[in-house]
Amino acid sequence: MREKEKMVSGKFYNPSESELFYDRINAKTICQKYNQISPKEIQERKNILKKLFGKTGEHIFIEPNFYCDYGYNIETGENFYANHNLVILDCAKVKFGDNVMIGPNCGFYTAAHPVKAEERIKGIEFAKPITVGDNVWFGGNVCVMPGVTIGDNVVIGGGSVVVKDIPSNVVACGNPCKPVKSL
């Protein structure tokens, strides 16, 4: 099994392997180009995202700066908006539903590392997917960690660290993030 196949299937993999290394270089080169395009060039920016991501809706807008690891593991629905400094470490799938809004300085991290130091120093890692439902709003400075699923019609309060699944129809916040109000 290739390292890329191991990565997307949640198994331990070596991120330094050449195919994955060059995939990351390619994505980071595209992100660099994206981040340097004039704000007036809205269609060109949209075209770059549609080419970089595995799947997008028709209406997608990400304010620069934007960074990702691979791009091809990111899927967005319709009406996706992200404010400045979005980071998506997409070693596993990151799926966003329709009508998702993301505040500034947010991160979605699928990459995880072994807890035991002797395993970690070998340079291996694993990844768990992130799934975000429809009609979700993330306040600024939110971190969503590996393996999390967030339901529909959710508001995640600014500064939250989401380490566990969040059900539909709630406002959730905190570190760790948890539901505080039903909608």
What would the two tokens of residue 120 be? 């970690």
Point out the catalytic residue in the list 2, 55, 113, 164.
113
Q: How far apart are the first and last CA of the chain?
A: 45
What is the rounded CA–CA span in Å between residue 7 and residue 15? 8
Taking phi first (over 0 means left), then psi (-120 to 50 degrees means alpha), and beta for anything else, what does residue 130 get?
Answer: beta
- The question of whether 113 is a catalytic residue gets the answer yes
Q: Which long-range contacts (CB under 8 A, 24 or more apart) does 46-54 make?
A: 52/27, 54/93
- Cα dihedral 17/19/20/25 (nearest 10): 120
Q: Which residues are part of the catalytic machinery? A: 113
